[in-house]
Amino acid sequence: GQPKESPWLLATPTLRSRAKLLFPPSSSPGGVLFCLLGALLAPIRVLLAFIVLFLLWPFAWLQVAGLTEEQLQEPITGWRKTVCHNGVLGLSRLLFFLLGFLRIRVRGQRASRLQAPVLVAAPHSTFFDPIVLLPCDLPKVVSRAENLSVPVIGALLRFNQAILVSRHDPASRRRVVEEVRRRATSGGKWPQVLFFPEGTCSNKKALLKFKPGAFIAGVPVQPVLIRYPNSLDTTSWAWRGPGVLKVLWLTASQPCSIVDVEFLPVYHPSPEESRNPTLYANNVQRVMAQALGIPATECEFVGSLPVIVVGRLKVALEPQLWELGKVLRKAGLSPGHVDAGAEPGRSRMISQEEFARQLQLSDPQTVAGAFSYFQQDAKGLVDFRDVALALAALDGGRSLEELTRLAFELFAEEQVEAPDRLLYKDGFSTILHLLLGSPRPAAATLHAELCQGGPHQGLSLCQFQDFSLHDPLHGKLFSTYLRPSQKPHASSPGTPTALANGTVQAPKQKGD
Q: Give me the DSSP letters along 216-264.
A: TT---EEEEEEE---SS------SSS--HHHHHHHHHHSS-EEEEEEEP
Spatial distance between the Cα atoms of 5 and 480, rounded to a whole number of angstroms: 11
pLDDT score for 436 = 87
Backbone angles phi, psi at 290, to 5 degrees: -65, -40
pLDDT value of residue 479: 79
Using DSSP bridges, classify how beta strands 221-227 and 101-107 pair: parallel, antiparallel or unpaired.
unpaired
Neighbours of 243 (CB within 10 A): 10
Question: Longest C-alpha distance within the chain, in Å?
Answer: 77
pLDDT at 110: 95
Say whether the peptide bond before residue 123 is cis (omega within 30 degrees of 0).
yes
Backbone angles phi, psi at 428, to 5 degrees: -60, -45
Mean pLDDT by 10 residues, the chain (512 residues): 38 41 46 69 91 92 89 89 92 94 94 94 93 93 86 90 82 85 89 92 89 91 95 85 87 91 96 94 95 90 75 78 82 64 74 87 86 87 89 83 90 76 91 88 88 79 90 81 49 30 35 42
- Residue 46, C-beta contacts closer than 8 angstroms, at least 6 positions apart: 99, 248, 249, 252
Chain CA centroid to CA 114, Å: 32
Give the span between the Cα atoms of 384 and 280, in whole angstroms.
Answer: 44
Contact 223, 120 (CB under 8 A): yes
Alpha carbon distance 451, 19 (integer Å):
33
Q: Give residue 10's pLDDT.
A: 34
Q: How far is CA 169 from CA 166, 186, 196, 236, in A?
A: 5, 26, 21, 30
Q: What is the predicted pLDDT for the residue at 341?
A: 60
Distance CA(253)–CA(36), nearest Å, equals 9
Cut 0.85: pTM above it: no
**Contacts (Cβ under 8 Å, ≥6 apart) of 348:** 342, 383, 384, 385
Give pLDDT, residue 107. Answer: 95
